Amino acid sequence: MTKFKAKVTQDIPANRLIGLGGINTEGDPEEGWETIYLILSKKGWIPDLVSTSNLEKGSVVEVTIKNNPVWKVEASEDLPAGTLVQCDDDGRVKHYRPEDGNHFGFTTHSVKAGEVVQIVRKYGHMPQNQVEATSFNVEEFERTENNDDNENNHDDKYPKHVGGGYYELSNGEKVQGKDKAIEAEQALKSGE
């Protein structure tokens, strides 16, 4: 474990990805020579750190490096489990798009936008066939989900996806797996 002091150059909320600023981050290279600056990571950057609490602009904080391969980061969009992620412009995570820069890890569970997700750090570039196999098209996913809702869930919208691969039935029961949940909900409706 290593600890060091760093200066926060902008307000940074908890669970956001952080990059290191350069020597001239605040326009004073002399101060920058001896100071580590913290800034929000930007889209496609490989982040250096993650905030565990709210950081206030101008404060000097103690940074602790724990060599932990798992970070907790706020998601900027709905993400399924096992999604490769990259940083967005607010220091949050979004699904990986090669044209937006590097990926730095993957989700261990599904989340909705604004929730905190665990990310296992995994850096680097991938062969194109691996990129294609792990890509996630948000628009296509949402279109499929909406069509599935209209076809299978009728007017009452059950089963409802509640995250982590689980679905809630109209009787309040939770079932893992979409197909099993649809079957179980249909069985409930036929028994009514």
Between CA 81 and CA 95 the distance in angstroms is 11
61-70, 139-148, 168-177 — which is least confidently predicted? Answer: 139-148
Would you give the DSSP letter of residue 84? E
Helix (H, G, I), strand (E, B) or coil at 128: helix
pTM of the full structure: 0.66
Determine the Cα–Cα distance for residues 163 and 173; give it in Å rounded to an integer.
14
Residue 45: predicted pLDDT: 87
* Domain range 70-134, its CATH number among 3.30.43, 1.10.3470, 2.40.340, 2.60.120: 2.40.340
What strands, in cross-sheet order, belong to the sheet with 84-87?
Answer: 70-74, 116-124, 103-107, 84-87, 93-95
pLDDT-derived band at 116 (thresholds 50, 70, 90) equals very high
Estimate to the nearest angstrom the gap between the alpha carbon of 117 and the chain centroid.
5
Segment 50-56 mean pLDDT: 96
- Section 179-187 average pLDDT: 85
Average pLDDT, stretch 76-98?
Answer: 93
Average pLDDT, the chain: 83
DSSP secondary-structure letter at 115? S
